[in-house]
Structure formats: C-alpha cells, structure tokens
Amino acid sequence: MKASKREGNREFRQRRAMNIVWTAAGEYGFSPAFLAFQEDGTPDLYLNSIIGFAHRFYDAEKLAAYVCQLDQSILSSVFEDILWLGLEQAIYKRELPNRPVLEELRREHARRFLLDSVDVSMQQLMMRSEIIHTLKAGRCREILGEPPGIRNPWDRKLYEALDYSAELTTEEIIARTDQILRRFFIFRFTAGRRRSWHIILSNRWQQWLRRLFSLEGQREFSIRPWRQADAAGGLGNDEGSISGWSRDPLAAKLAELTAIYGNPLFAESVRLELEVSLCRGNHQRAHLYFAIGSENDASRENRAFWRGHQRQYELCRRHLRASLQNCLLVHHQPQQISGRQGVFAPARAWRGVFLHDPSVFWQYQEEPKGDFAVTLLLDASESRREQQGMIAAQTYAIAGALADCRIPVQVYSFCSVKGVTVFCQLKSLAERDGQRIFAYRTGGWNRDGLALLAAEKLLPQEKKRRQLLMVLTDAHPSDALDVPAGAGRSHRYMDKTAMEDTAAAVKSLRRHGVKLVALVNSVLMGQGAEIAAREIYGKQAVAISSIECLAETVAGLVEQQISMD
Amino acid sequence: MREFWQEQGLRESLLAEVDRYRQQYPWQGKRLVAKPRYRYYGREVLEQAVTAIVAGENLLLVGPKATGKNVLAENLAAAFGRPDWNISFHINMDSAYLLGTDTFRNGAVEFRPGPVYECAEAGGFGVLDEINMARNEALAVLHSLLDFRRILDVPGYGRLQLHPATRFIATMNYGYAGTRELNEALTSRFVVLQLPPIGADDLERLMGAEFPRLTAKGRRLLVELFADLQQKCENGEISSKSVDIRGLLDAIRLMEFGLGVYPALSMGIIHKCFDESERELVRDTVALRIPEKMEPAALFA
C-alpha cells in the first residue's frame, strides 16, 4: 500500500512539473523531455518554467538533435549542464520584462542551491562534477548580488562565456555552445547513446534538473516461456485434446497456474464447488482456477504504457468522473411526503379543518437511486497481447473514475490455459487503489461462455445493490478445448459455436438480473467485430474506437443502466 | 446604460428601438428596476441580445461559467426599464414552484402565485437561471407561455394572458455538474445566444471600470494570469472551478482593502479547488505570475 501511495505521489509530482512546463510554454499536449525536481521530490518551479520557456522561445527539435549529439560524448552530462547554464541565462533575460516574478523565483532557487551546497559528505563531493558545481554556485552567488567567487582563470573565462544574451536564436545558441565546448573541452565520442534528452545531474543534492523518467522509455518485452508453450500447445492440437493435461494430475496443473498467475483466491473446496456447478454441458471438460493477481513481468510493460499515455488517460479519468457524478446526480427518484404546500391531498383535508394541521399537501422529495457496484471483466487471451498496455490503462482509468465517485468496483481478468479458465483478481471491492490492475497480462485462449457464468459467482451477493458487469472484450471467443457433441464427437469452441455459447451465458446472466455491457476493443476492429459483439451482447455492446470516446461511452453505458430501472 | 451601449458601439437604430419599448411600456409597479452591479462588455453579443428582446423573442444564453450570462440578463432588464424576476432552477424543481402552489389558509385552499406567474402578469423580465438543472417534465408548463400563445393555464384558477412587455431570458451552462439535456420542444421556444468567454481586452476594460485605482500594469498581470488558468482548464488539466471571474474580481476587491495579492488570490481563486492536487496546479500557475510577498500597492495607483 505504501509503495502504491508513493507511486501515486510520484505520478502527481510528474503531472505537476509538466503543468509548470506547459504553463510557461503556453502550450499543452507535448511531452517535455526534461523535468526538474528538488531534493525532496517537489517540482522545481523556476527550472521547470525555464524548460517551458525554452520550448516557447526556441526550436525544440534542433536543440534535441544537438543534445543527442552531445550525448555521444563521455562528458555528455557536463556539456548538457553547460548548455542549460547558457540557456537559463538567455531565457531569464528574455522573459523577465514580461514576467517580473521570475526575479524572485530565481533568487529563491539560488538561495536553495547554495544552502544545499554546504555540509555535504565526502561521498557527495566525490560524486559531483566540480566544474559544473563551480559554475552554478558562481551563477547563484551573482543572482544573490554577491561576487561569483570563481578564482581559477580557466573557470572564470568559461563562466563569462556562458552569459548568453536574450536575443540569441536557437542556431546562435547551438553555435555558441559548440564554440565554448570546443574551446574549453576535448570531445571524446563513445558508442553509448541515450534515446531521450535529459539534463544530467551532477549529484543528488546539487541537482538542478533531475532525470526522472524517459518518456520514450525502453520497452522491455519480457520473455514469457509459459505463454509461448501454452500457445504452441493449443494451436498445435488438431484433435482438440489437451496434450499433456490428462496425463498430469490436476493438483500439479493448479500448482503450475499458481506459480504463473498467483495464489488461489478461494479455498480448494470453494473452487471445486464452483467447478462442479459451472463446468457442465459445453464446459464439462473444462476446469476453473481463481488467482489473486500480483506484480509480474507484464506490470512493468503496462506501467510504461501508462506513463507514455498518462495525460490522455488521466484526462479520460477526469472526464469520466465528471460524467458519472453528473449521471448519479441527475437520476433521482421522487419520494412523496406531506407538506404545507404542493399538490392538495383531499385525504388529508380533515387534518386541516379539525387539527389545524396545515400539512394537507403532497410534496415530492427526490432521493438518489439505490447504489450499484461495478465488476470489470477483462478478456486476457493471447489475441489481446498487442493491446495489453492499452487495456490495462483503460481499465485503470475506468476503475479510478468509478472509485472517485464512490462506486464500488472490482476487476478480474480471464483466459483459458490448457482447458482451465483462469480468473485473476486485479482489484477487489475493498481496495481503494487500483495499482494491481497493471498486473493484467495476456496469454492463452478465452472461453467466454464459461467465464461469464463464473463471473456471476464473483459478483458481490448484495440484494440491495445492483450489479453492473462490464466486459472488455474483442467479442471473439475461442478455446482449444472442444465442446462435446455426443457419441464421441466434438465441435471446436470457436466462431458460431463459441458465439452461441457466450450469447447463451449472457442471456442467463441477464435473466438473473445482472446488468451486462460489453466494451468492444479489438485489433481487428471493424464490421466483423461489431456484428459479433451485437450477436453476443445485443444492444449493450459498444465499440471503443479511441481513448477520446472512452469516457463518454462508459458514462453513457452506466447512465443507460441506471435509467433502465 | 444607453450611454454605455453607445460607447460599446451599438447601432443607433437599435437604441431607438429600446427607447420606443420603454415609452410603450413604462414601468409603474412597486417592484424596483434593479441597477446592475456589473456591465456586460462585448458589442456583438449585446447587439444580438438587444435585437432578440426588441423582436419579442425569448432568449437562451448558453456559455461556460463566468461568461456573463446573468450580467447580460440584468443589463437587458435594466436597459429596457423592467424589473427582473430571478428564478434559480434546481434538480428538485417542479411546475408548482414556477407557477404557484396551493396553500391552506383560514381553512381554505388558496393559490399562491409563483415567480413565473408574477413576472408574466406584471410584464417583467423573467431570468430562468440554469434552466437545464430542472427536469424537463417540470418545464413543460412553460411551453404555452413561451410560444406564440403567450398564455398560462393554471388548473382551477383560470388563464393568465401574458403581459406584452414580458420577456424570458434563460441561462444555461452546458455540461455543468447536475445539468441535463434541454428538451427540444423547450429549446425551440428560445433564440439561442452562445456567450464566448470574456476576451482579454474586455476583461481588462471590466477591471478598469470596476477598480479605477488598479494600474494598467496590474490589470495586464491579472488578465495574463486569468488567461493561463483558462488555457489550463481548456486543456483539461484543471476544472473550471478556479477559472472564475467573480473570484478574480473578489480577490482584487480584497487587495483594494489592503490584503496581500497572493492571499487575496488564494481566497478568490486557488481555494476554490477543494481537490488538493488541483489546488497545487492552480497555485503553481499563480506563482508563475505573482510573487508570494507582493503587496497590493504594487498593483494600485
């Protein structure tokens, strides 16, 4: 819980820093390649504003290309700091007449820098780049009205050379920096190359700009042997039998699933009971397993996707929250009460005459409708692999918005591995935080019919609270485990058979009072997926074509479900 | 108001129509014709609104918060020399609240007229504020009043013919929390005027008129701050809570009374956001324009 809180704080600090950059840039929607933070993690107001002004005044592409060039040197961090020292000076002079507050912000920044520079440990002294520290300290002293205190003639000349004027253009800044570096340093190129443009920090406590995250960050696709083996096994099974499964005892397979998906959610007796009651008819050879989802190799990928698209999804979350709040506010039901004015109630007239009670009218007071809980069910089959990060991000945004509105929400994913439909709990109703949703990972098949029947058992058993089951699916059920057709024959669980089976499960759930809606999001999004979704889920299936329409679509579905009562 | 509208550049022919209306319907009732607290700036919008009123139309003013919907409605009522009945719509409103309700007095049921009834009878300007807050069923009673029939049937109490000077001006903020889609039948009974957010020049003029001691430098600084907040809101980073002209004007008023610039802006703008993270974003935006220790003397002459 503490880790997730820290994560949340970190995300907000990033958002705050980005907002400072955007405000100064006067432009939104670009991802700043640099962000600046103080030692305690608080965004640095002055330096982030300088980053924003740099975006406003100069050609970001040209500067980025130049920094990439610097990046190849072994002294890249020193060179980048030197570039920023020059830029800061030029930007400050340029913006000061329009924004007098910069003077105070700069002084405060300088004060803090010099304060942090005293009482440093030997380790910190060893870590810092002395020349950069000397230059920065000199600049800070000068800002505070003191002499720079740089005695070494070489340092002093370099310091003086970094006094860039406000009028310099991007090309002139690059040319001047290049000239300085060639005059004062010797270039040594190395093969090392970074993807993003960062201000390199010389040490922890004298950081000006802290490299916090790489927006284009490395996508580390982990190798998942279990999935490959599973997929290969499933696809290569022409007869529909589950090679290897029948030979192994169930307990061994469950142990294998526990290792992959996490500890069991239910005691074995409960799991067995559910299996006996649900694995019948079309699913008589199938099994069920329920896991508690935990951090895994997919979490990092999913978080990287989230970070890369955080702004869009945060925006979606806020829009959805606002729409849901509005929807909950608008849908009220009237309650009749007696009052001193309103619609005359003849049956109460005697009270007025004999008891002098003026409450002989009916008034209507509006009460919020009974509350409801939402269960998000994610198709986690291999066909969702390409969209894994996006689905996790969408789910995180939806779950967050629902939780913000105090609507209880739980999240499960499901897939079918070697004949076992595996459920993974990614968020329980009691959890306030949805960080575990990033543990969503894809693999195997999807036996939607069985999954939906089992999902009904996972819904909270509260009579007063209506249940809304929201399925994020590609409307393409298929499983390697066949459907018995009698007399030793069987049908593949795919296409029409699978769709009919899933549609029957949908009907069954609706008969039991479960409000079921489908958010269809397929890599093969097109007419085919939409038709399949309509066949299975009827009118309560909506295609999500882009992140922009997610909030509106989900809010519309929730509103539809609320107003149906 | 006539002089002000002249300054704004309204056509003389239109102003003559306003004069004609005033001569035709001089107000002689007891209710006072309110003097507007603020003036609406924006020639184009004013011209459209005045034309609609002169032509006898009902006006629906649509726009985000702080675009001056109510200010414009008040200005119109004052300029046409009629009192206004301000009716704030809300989610629990019913037709009885608008038209009137039965009350029990001295052992008998009596009709107590509601604000719409009173306004229609007297020939006032009815300001239907946040009209899309109410349920459409509650508003259906207004249909006959707002269309060509110009009548109001109150069951059991007869028919009221609308006074010819009566005008209804509705306001709404589309997409505001608690609002709903306005019924098509009701919308068709209004001419709709979309109010743009106040422009930087108009805001500066408004500040100048409201606070004559505020220097040009001070006005520009606050206008730029407001533009930063507007842009942040348009980009979905903050809600519209802090993009609040009323709050900004209130803050300037506090500064006039000697409160520090930053604390005044905190009270008028920053603290309007109750969400801590949103408040931080607004605070940073303010800090990029206003030094924390800035004295009001720096902004006032």
* pLDDT, position A249: 57
Query: For the ranges A324-328, A355-359, B12-16, B269-273, which has the lowest average pLDDT?
Result: A324-328
* pLDDT, position A207: 35
Residue B125: other Cβ atoms inside 10 A: 26
Q: Outline where DSSP puts E strands in A340-488.
A: 341-344, 361-368, 372-379, 409-417, 420-427, 466-473, 479-486
CA distance A447 to chain B (A): 40
* pLDDT, position A560: 75
pLDDT-derived band at A219, boundaries 50, 70, 90: very low
* pLDDT of A232 over the 90 cut: no
Which domain covers residue B100, as residue numbers?
Answer: 2-194
* pLDDT, position B62: 93
DSSP string over A274-311: HHHHHS-GGGTT-EEEEEE----HHHHHHHHHHHHTHH
* pLDDT of A493 over the 80 cut: yes
* pLDDT, position A370: 46
Which residue, B133, B185, B89, B173, is CA-closest to A332?
B133
* pLDDT of A212 over the 50 cut: no
Gap between the Cα atoms of A43 and A32, Å rounded: 14
Residues B251 and B119 in one domain: no
Q: Which residues contact A252 (CB under 8 A, 6 or more apart)?
A: none
* pLDDT, position B119: 94
* pLDDT, position A313: 86
Residues B16 and B104 in one domain: yes
pTM comes to 0.61
Examine the fold and report which residue of B194, B210, B239 is the final residue of a domain before the chain moves on: B194
Place of tokens 């009028």: A167
Gap between the Cα atoms of B236 and A41, Å rounded: 24
Gap between the Cα atoms of A497 and A140, Å rounded: 74
Mean pLDDT of chain A: 78
What mean pLDDT comes out for the span B215-219? Answer: 94
* pLDDT, position A386: 84
pLDDT per position as a tens digit, B259-275: 999 999 999 999 998 88
What mean pLDDT comes out for the span A422-445? Answer: 90
B163-197 core/surface letters (b: 16 or more CB in 10 A; e: else): eebbbbbbbbbeeeeebbebbeebbebbeebebeb
Of residues B91, B112, B289, nearest to A101 (C-beta):
B289
Interface of B with A in 138-167 (CB under 8 A): none
Question: Which position has the higher pLDDT, A481 or A72?
Answer: A481
Residues B190 and B204 in one domain: no
What mean pLDDT comes out for the span B4-23? Answer: 93
The domain that contains B39 carries what CATH number? 3.40.50.300
pLDDT-derived band at A129, boundaries 50, 70, 90: low
* pLDDT, position A384: 85
What mean pLDDT comes out for the span A173-180? Answer: 91
* pLDDT, position A246: 36
Gap between the Cα atoms of A375 and A442, Å rounded: 19
Amino acid code (one letter) for B129: D
* pLDDT of B25 over the 80 cut: yes
Residues B45 and B24 in one domain: yes
Q: How many CA atoms are closer than 13 Å to the CA of A336, on its beta-carbon side?
A: 6
Residues B134 and B50 in one domain: yes
Total structural domains in chain B?
2
What mean pLDDT comes out for the span B196-208? Answer: 89
What mean pLDDT comes out for the span A323-329? Answer: 74
* pLDDT of A328 over the 60 cut: yes
Alpha helices in A244-381 (DSSP H): 250-261, 268-278, 297-308, 310-330, 349-354
Examine the fold and report which residue of B137, B170, B194 is the final residue of a domain before the chain moves on: B194
* pLDDT, position A128: 54
Which residue, A190, A194, A185, is CA-closest to A83?
A185
Query: For the ranges A270-274, A363-367, A397-401, B151-155, which has the lowest average pLDDT?
Result: A363-367
Residues B121 and B257 in one domain: no
Per the CB < 8 A criterion, the answer to whether A400 and A391 are in contact is no
Examine the fold and report which residue of B167, B194, B221 is the final residue of a domain before the chain moves on: B194
Residues of B in contact with A9 (CB under 8 A): none
* pLDDT of A50 over the 90 cut: yes
Residues of A in contact with B92 (CB under 8 A): 332, 364-366
Residues B222 and B268 in one domain: yes
* pLDDT, position A201: 34
A242-246, A265-269, B150-154: which has the highest mean pLDDT?
Answer: B150-154
pLDDT-derived band at A522, boundaries 50, 70, 90: low
* pLDDT, position A241: 30
Residue B25: other Cβ atoms inside 10 A: 16
What mean pLDDT comes out for the span A507-536? Answer: 79
* pLDDT, position B175: 62
pLDDT per position as a tens digit, B94-134: 788 888 888 877 778 788 889 999 999 999 999 999 888 88
Residues B7 and B100 in one domain: yes
In chain B, the percentage of residues whose pLDDT exceeds 70 is 98
* pLDDT, position A167: 92
* pLDDT, position A210: 33
B107 in reach of chain A (CB within 8 A): yes
* pLDDT, position B99: 87
Give the tokens for residue A464.
Answer: 């007063």
Residues of B in contact with A19 (CB under 8 A): 232, 237, 281, 284-285
**Residue A207 CA: distances (Å) to CA of A22, A115, A193, B137, B295:** 21, 12, 22, 63, 32
Q: Which residues contact A7 (CB under 8 A, 6 or more apart)?
A: A435
Residue A390: other Cβ atoms inside 10 A: 18
* pLDDT of B79 over the 60 cut: yes
pLDDT-derived band at B168, boundaries 50, 70, 90: very high
pLDDT-derived band at A206, boundaries 50, 70, 90: very low
CA distance B13 to chain A (A): 43
Test A366 with B231 for CB contact under 8 angstroms: no
Main-chain dihedrals φ then ψ at residue A140, nearest 5 degrees: -65, -40
In chain A, the percentage of residues whose pLDDT exceeds 70 is 79
What mean pLDDT comes out for the span A549-558? Answer: 80
Gap between the Cα atoms of A496 and A322, Å rounded: 40
Residues B71 and B159 in one domain: yes
Spell out which chain A residues touch chain B, with contact meaning CB-CB distance below 8 angstroms.
12, 15-16, 19-20, 22-24, 26, 28-29, 43, 45, 49, 99-101, 104-105, 315, 318-319, 322, 325-326, 329-330, 332, 340-344, 352-353, 358, 360-361, 364-366
Question: Which position has the higher pLDDT, B264 or A490?
Answer: B264
Residues B26 and B50 in one domain: yes
Residues of B in contact with A28 (CB under 8 A): 231-232, 235, 237
* pLDDT of A224 over the 50 cut: no
Q: Which residues contact A239 (CB under 8 A, 6 or more apart)?
A: none
pLDDT-derived band at A563, boundaries 50, 70, 90: low
Residues B276 and B148 in one domain: no
pLDDT-derived band at B255, boundaries 50, 70, 90: very high
Residues B180 and B41 in one domain: yes
* pLDDT, position A452: 92
Size of interface A-B (CB pairs under 8 A): 100
Main-chain dihedrals φ then ψ at residue B126, nearest 5 degrees: -90, 120
